Structure 1
Amino acid sequence: METLLNYFENIPSHHRVIIIVSGLTFFWIVEGAIPLHKLNYKKWRHAIPNLFFNLTLMIVNLPLAFMLLKTADWVVVNNFGIMNWLPDMPLWLYVVLSLILMDLFGAYLPHLIEHKIKPLWMVHLVHHTDHKVDTTTANRHHPIESVIRFFFTLFGVFIVGVPIGLVFLYQSLSVLATQFNHANIKLPKKVDDTLSYFIVSPDMHKVHHHYRLPYTDSNYGNIFSIWDRLFGTYMKLDTNKIVYGVDVFPDEKENSNILSLLKQPFQKYKSPTVMPDKEYENL
């Protein structure tokens, strides 16, 4: 464990890029072999806008990494943050607890807030307007959202109080986890259900991408499922009944155009439709 943390403490930037690309490639191959849905689409054409936003994510995050480094160094030197206030514990437990707390502040909390505050929801909509969810959807985030998510992660480093090696480990696991749970992968139902008690499984996260409320406002987690279960935002839905997209931006052609997606946060739209109780109960 110490060797792992030492590696991530000094990880070169190009290694972080390799992790992103390798994960994307691996899950791309796996979802082609065991797809959850036989999506009727040209996969490379669908991937182009999503890969564009993967690129903007890296462009935003890599230059800002020095802020993570400065903050992580400060909390260690000043013994600040939750993990520094807890009693001594085995290294493996320290790492697991740190990752769970970083997932709360760096993923669950910003995701929840983005769904509740309209200007942030408008930015986050770019992620939800993908009509063919697969592993390339994972980091389909508007550049503005990439900046927002970065500062939530920075806040998490400050509150949780973790060293830079753990920060970069968390970020790498976060990328791989979101590539995994967005991938169009069909796992045995019992395997997916069992995984969902510990981590965000593919079937669990697909519910979040259903095009109508209340399912859109559920399953906010990224790595660990504990926060959705603890805060009552966990929901289940048969994957055969899931329709991807979002009802306020139904035009799939527009939602596949990079320029349209860049302008999407600044467009007006009608309030989303909440699924009627009778229809909701039948799902």
Structure 2
Amino acid sequence: MNRLIDYFSTIPSSHRSIILVGGITFFWLIESSMPLFNFSYHKWRHAGVNIFFTITTIIVNFFLAFILLQASDWAVTNHFGIINWLPKMPSWIYAILGLLILDLIGAWFVHWLEHKVKWMWKFHIIHHSDMQVDTTTANRHHPGESAFRFVFTTIAVVMTGAPMWIVMMYQSISVMLSQFNHANISLPTRLNKVLSWFIVTPDMHHVHHHYVQPYTDSNYGNIFSVWDHLFGSFSFKNPKDIVYGVDTQMDATKNESIASLLKMPFE
């Protein structure tokens, strides 16, 4: 455990880049060999749009990263946050609790809010407008959404009281799981059923990208599926019956235009 703590305390930027690029490449190759849907689309052009928004997310997070560092240092120094108020426990228990709380506040809760608060939904709709969901969709977020998601991540860090090694571990796992659960693949039914009680699987998250309600407002999780089971937002639909997109934004040309997507929240 000490090796993990040391690694994530000082994880190089190059390693974080490898996790991002390597994950996309890995799941992209799997999609090509065993796809859930055989999309009739230009895979590279589609990826180009989503990678543009991946880059804007990286830029937003890069310029705001010092805030996250200050928030974590403040919480640890002032003994603030849930895991700092608990009795002394082994590091691996702190890590699991930290990951769970960060995932609840920094991923599940803000995602749920984006579907309930109109102005937030206007930004989040860019993510849902993708009509060919694959692993590159994971980071298809409007820069405005990236900014307010960062705010909730910072709040989550303070409320959790997470040191930076837990924050870096959480962000690394979050990136990989998001690429996994957006990937255009389907797991064997039995394996998916078991895994979906613990983590968010592609079959589970693809339901969230179905174009109509109530499916769009379900399965908000990113890493852990426990929150959707606990809060009653879990739903299931046969993966082959899913139609991606949003019923109010079904113009394929517009949904693949960077300029149109950037303007979409303000229309």
Deviation at 1:143, TM superposition (A): 0.3
Pair 1:84-2:84 in alignment: yes
Deviation at 1:266, TM superposition (A): 0.9
Deviation at 1:26, TM superposition (A): 0.8
State, as a whole percentage, how many aligned pairs show the same letter. 56
CA distance in 2 between partners of 1:145 and 1:2 (Å) = 35
Q: Secondary structure at the match of 1:253?
A: helix
Pair 1:95-2:95 in alignment: yes
Q: Name the residue aligned to 1:223.
A: 223
Deviation at 1:2, TM superposition (A): 1.8
CA distance in 2 between partners of 1:5 and 1:90 (Å) = 12
CA distance in 2 between partners of 1:140 and 1:101 (Å) = 24
Deviation at 1:45, TM superposition (A): 1.2
Any conservation in 2 of the 1:13–1:62 contact (CA below 8 Å)?
no
Deviation at 1:14, TM superposition (A): 2.7
For 1:195, give the aligned amino acid: L
- Write out aligned runs for 1:128-277 (5 A): 128-267=128-267
For 2:76, give the aligned amino acid: V
Instruction: Using the TM superposition, name which of 37-46 and 111-120 deviates more.
Output: 37-46
For 1:95, give the aligned amino acid: A
CA distance in 1 between partners of 2:22 and 2:65 (Å) = 21
Runs of 4 or more above 4 Å deviation: none
- Write out aligned runs for 1:32-51 (5 A): 32-51=32-51
CA distance in 2 between partners of 1:172 and 1:233 (Å) = 25
Deviation at 1:218, TM superposition (A): 0.2
Deviation at 1:63, TM superposition (A): 2.1
Pair 1:15-2:18 in alignment: no
For 1:157, give the aligned amino acid: V
For 2:102, give the aligned amino acid: M
CA distance in 1 between partners of 2:57 and 2:15 (Å) = 16
For 1:177, give the aligned amino acid: L
Unaligned runs of 5+ in 1: 268-283
Q: Secondary structure at the match of 2:252?
A: coil
Which digits, 9 at most, give the CA deviation of each residue in 1:196-252, with x for residues without a partner?
000000000000000001000000000000100000000001111110000011101
TM score, norm. by length of structure 2: 0.98
CA distance in 2 between partners of 1:117 and 1:225 (Å) = 22
Deviation at 1:100, TM superposition (A): 0.7
Instruction: Using the TM superposition, name which of 149-158 and 91-100 deviates more.
Output: 91-100
CA distance in 1 between partners of 2:148 and 2:193 (Å) = 31
Pair 1:106-2:106 in alignment: yes
Give the total of aligned pairs: 267
Unaligned runs of 5+ in 2: none
For 1:251, give the aligned amino acid: D
Deviation at 1:134, TM superposition (A): 0.2
Instruction: Using the TM superposition, name which of 92-101 and 126-135 deviates more.
Output: 92-101
CA distance in 1 between partners of 2:113 and 2:225 (Å) = 17
CA distance in 1 between partners of 2:156 and 2:26 (Å) = 29
Deviation at 1:150, TM superposition (A): 0.6
CA distance in 1 between partners of 2:202 and 2:143 (Å) = 25
For 1:263, give the aligned amino acid: K
